[in-house]
Structure 1
Amino acid sequence: MTAELLTGIAELTTQAAESSHDDDRLLGAALVIENGRIAWLGPAAEAPAADSVVDVHGRAVLPGWVDTHSHLVFAGDRAAEFEARMAGQRYAAGGIVSTMLATRAANEADLVANARCLRREAEAQGTTFLETKTGYGLDLAGELRSARAAAEVADVVSFLGAHVVPPGIDRRDYLDLVTGPMLASVAPYVDFVDAFCETGAFDVEECREVLLAGRAAGLGLRLHGNQLGFSGGVRLAAELGCASVDHCNHLDDADIDALAGSNTVATLLPACDLSTRAPFPPARRLLDAGAHIALASNCNPGTSYTTSMPFCVATAVLQMGLTVREAIWAATRGAARAVGREHGPDAVGSLRIGGRADLQVLDAPSVAHLAYRPGMQLCVATWTEGARARPLANRDLST
């Protein structure tokens, strides 16, 4: 395989240290990509020879974003719901049903095409690894179709049959379907089981039943918890050792202690909180207590219709009390932890010798510009497993 040298890097953020508090930036750096992996990194003056050279002309390089919470497999549009919410209507879990009806009516090819379009959007802004969920089919055929579509588009797939109880079916019958035939049908296509632990969706004991059934089927565990109130989801996730519990807007001291005393990652979704005008999660308190956090887009048609991880990073810095370094860690290395990909040969979210060459180049000299210049399209190129994506129109790596 040929070796490709990236040089002229003003600031290289590796995320190879073991804490967001450690400064792992290299100035005046270079790196070599070979066979989809990082073969070398260090000072540009010491770079080895390579078959090809890309000079990034004083730009910043960092790991690609790891987006570990999205809902890309859907059809339809909920702009009217958004307008109503902006006019003062309170958000509730029931809006999912309108997307369910549109998704059931769509064919699998259309679901895949829409999800791929959204993934391309994400990649253009630096995302190189992405999780997505089922959860808008909510019957056997619809969830199976969604799981197959998700597996074609995403790196990690979560089964979210326990999103809400669809109209026209008994609650107990639906839980039996989710934990029985539905789970069995989607299992070959998914990596995790998930559930929405919230008023209007499922309570703690129902979510426990769903998660334990998923574990028995060999799946990892994830959970939506404490988005709309003190649902008990956070403590359930910590108790069961879920890889992550997502949203976490409403936390008391016991919730924070439970997370700090566990390996469960609190995945925070700031774009969703802006769209629903919800209180932001206590990110600063979580970090100061020793909990692990991640940031994700929660891209979905109802409450967070964005694929922009830079937007989430900037919001976390400007509105949630995180430093730039903490927010970037949460969107890369911390997010990798939330899907069990922080360490090992398939690790993502960091740049280290022998690791995957998933990286992005910013049209800026440092990562501080991600929050310093919010809303700007700064990503000019990405490499995913060593393969370079085409630059955006009118944007390339020339000076």
Structure 2
Amino acid sequence: MTVLYTDIGELVTNDPAAGDGSALGVLHDAAVVVDGDRIVWTGPARDAPAADRRVSWAGDAAVPGFVDSHAHLVFAGERSAEFAARASGRPYTAGGIRTTVGATRAAPVEVLDAGVARLAGEMRAAGITTFETKSGYGLTVDDERRALGIAGRYTPETTFLGAHVVPDEYADRRDDYVDLVRGPMLDACAPHARWVDVFCERGAFDADESRAVLSAGRDRGLGVRVHAGQLGPGDGVRLAVELGAASVDHCTFLSDADVDALAAGRTVATLLPGVEFSTRTPWADGRRLLDAGATVALATDCNPGSSFTTSIGFCIALAVRHMGLSPAEALHAATAGGAAALRRPDVGAVTPGRRADLVRLAAPSYVHLAYRPGVPLVSEVVAAGTRYAVGHHAVPVDGGAGPVDRAGPHG
């Protein structure tokens, strides 16, 4: 069945040829035709072809479905006390990861699955129609395999992160743990993953250890991703570019050589402003990267320790305020940039042939994503052609009259 979404006051297509010539390819008074899970037509509403069903979006703005290319959703427990301590002046280190490892190992599979379902539902309500998620809170062969099995029920973008930190039981045997990760653990996890990732950072894994794990994953057919430049300068960014990584994530501390390497290669610089907000660390310089010609993505990095948010709109607003991006650049990074970071040519834009992922905003323009930070502007989500209404009004609990929320699954 074909569906015509029409009366769109402002449509962001991410196709300059289809719109105003900008990177966002903005169309006004626009329409989109969807057939099944694909977009088959975009253009002025007055020129729209006939369809089996017509849906009016009453002059509201619409943007591509957001693409969140970095998240850690498979975990148990929470770390609000750690957040409060940081807010009181304690500096952030990677040590808190081990707290989540203990809780995750102890949790039944049903608890972990329910947690992913809840967070995936929050993401959909925020307009995220494609997301990646990692293992990394099990750090044993069985726990990492279990995490990826759960993740695969919710997204095909699953990442093996056995090299998150060295677990306590291997504290004095780092080499043995690296051998475990790139050997038996990778053997167990590779069938359930699309990507391999490493936390290449002080307190986690050095460049040689990271290279060993990433190369082994690449040899098993996995795409490469890297955490780097979060806690300080290092070799992770250039290692990522050298190995042809799809994305290197955080990029808070970059040398001129790092920026030049990103600008010259295909590796996307994924910025995670929720982390800087939560950890009170310096903000990544997105302006520097864009001016150099690098491709930039924005993602939530949803995790229980350093960025416990599923709000991509919040991350867009932070990137505009603190990372030097314009509202247009931030939206592009959270859609087309995320698609590039996942090497997904089927998402991230509203053009014929792409998957039918659209987000209706309760606003006249995409600029409101940064202009009205913290306000739940997403009112409808079309994900692979399926339409979901998202509630953002309070519902009386005493039976009184009032607006009624509607939400998609887990939303």
Please give the TM-score of this superposition, normalised by the length of structure 2. 0.93
Where 1:54 maps in the other structure, the secondary structure is strand
Preserved CA contact (<8 Å) 1:76 1:103: yes
Preserved CA contact (<8 Å) 1:380 1:396: no
**Equivalent of 1:192 in 186, 191, 195:** 195
Give the unaligned 5+ runs of structure 1.
Answer: none
Which amino acid letter does the alignment assign opposite residue 114 of structure 2? A
Cα distance in 1, alignment partners of residues 32 and 206 from structure 2: 49
The percent of aligned pairs where both chains have the same amino acid is 52
Q: Which residue of 1 aligns with 2:88?
A: 87
Preserved CA contact (<8 Å) 1:67 1:296: yes
Cα distance in 2, alignment partners of residues 270 and 309 from structure 1: 10
Where 2:165 maps in the other structure, the secondary structure is coil
Alpha-carbon spacing, 1:340–1:250, altered in 2? closer, same or farther (3 Å)? same
Preserved CA contact (<8 Å) 2:201 2:230: yes
**Offset, 1:396:** 7.3
Q: Which residue of 2 aligns with 1:109?
A: 110
Preserved CA contact (<8 Å) 1:132 1:156: yes
Q: Which residue of 1 aligns with 2:147?
A: 146
Task: Check if 1:232 corresponds to 2:231.
Answer: no
Could you report, residue by residue, the CA deviation over 1:342-392 in whole angstroms, capped at 9, with x for unpaired residues? Answer: x2xxx1100111211011000001101001111000000111110112332
Preserved CA contact (<8 Å) 1:380 1:395: no
Preserved CA contact (<8 Å) 2:7 2:58: yes
Cα distance in 1, alignment partners of residues 358 and 133 from structure 2: 20
Alignment of 1:327-342 (within 5 A): 327-341=330-344
Q: Which residue of 1 aligns with 2:288?
A: 285
Cα distance in 2, alignment partners of residues 23 and 331 from structure 1: 12
Which amino acid letter does the alignment assign opposite residue 326 of structure 2? T
**Offset, 1:211:** 0.3
Q: Which residue of 1 aligns with 2:210?
A: 207
Preserved CA contact (<8 Å) 2:182 2:217: yes
Cα distance in 1, alignment partners of residues 33 and 75 from structure 2: 39
Cα distance in 2, alignment partners of residues 356 and 168 from structure 1: 45
Task: Check if 1:380 corresponds to 2:379.
Answer: yes
Cα distance in 2, alignment partners of residues 396 and 183 from structure 1: 42
**Offset, 1:50:** 1.3
Cα distance in 1, alignment partners of residues 36 and 152 from structure 2: 24
Q: Which residue of 2 aligns with 1:66?
A: 67
Where 2:90 maps in the other structure, the secondary structure is coil
Cα distance in 2, alignment partners of residues 21 and 85 from structure 1: 41
Alpha-carbon spacing, 1:166–1:23, altered in 2? closer, same or farther (3 Å)? closer
**Offset, 1:20:** 9.6
Could you report, residue by residue, the CA deviation over 1:28-55 in whole angstroms, capped at 9, with x for unpaired residues? Answer: 0011111211111111111111111111
**Offset, 1:139:** 0.7
**Offset, 1:238:** 1.0
**Equivalent of 1:245 in 243, 248, 252:** 248
Q: Structure 1 stretch 289-298 or stretch 168-177: which is displaced more?
A: 168-177
Which amino acid letter does the alignment assign opposite residue 210 of structure 2? C
Alignment of 1:36-51 (within 5 A): 36-51=37-52
Where 2:55 maps in the other structure, the secondary structure is strand
Q: Which residue of 1 aligns with 2:328?
A: 325
Cα distance in 2, alignment partners of residues 23 and 122 from structure 1: 22
Preserved CA contact (<8 Å) 1:68 1:335: yes
Cα distance in 2, alignment partners of residues 111 and 24 from structure 1: 40
Task: Check if 1:162 corresponds to 2:163.
Answer: yes
Cα distance in 2, alignment partners of residues 23 and 390 from structure 1: 25
Q: Which residue of 1 aligns with 2:13?
A: 14
Cα RMSD after superposing both structures: 1.5
Cα distance in 2, alignment partners of residues 22 and 113 from structure 1: 38
**Offset, 1:16:** 2.1
Which amino acid letter does the alignment assign opposite residue 115 of structure 2? N
Alignment of 1:307-322 (within 5 A): 307-322=310-325
Q: Which residue of 2 aligns with 1:294?
A: 297
Task: Check if 1:365 corresponds to 2:367.
Answer: no
**Offset, 1:22:** 3.0
Cα distance in 2, alignment partners of residues 140 and 23 from structure 1: 44
Cα distance in 2, alignment partners of residues 267 and 20 from structure 1: 25
Cα distance in 2, alignment partners of residues 388 and 91 from structure 1: 40
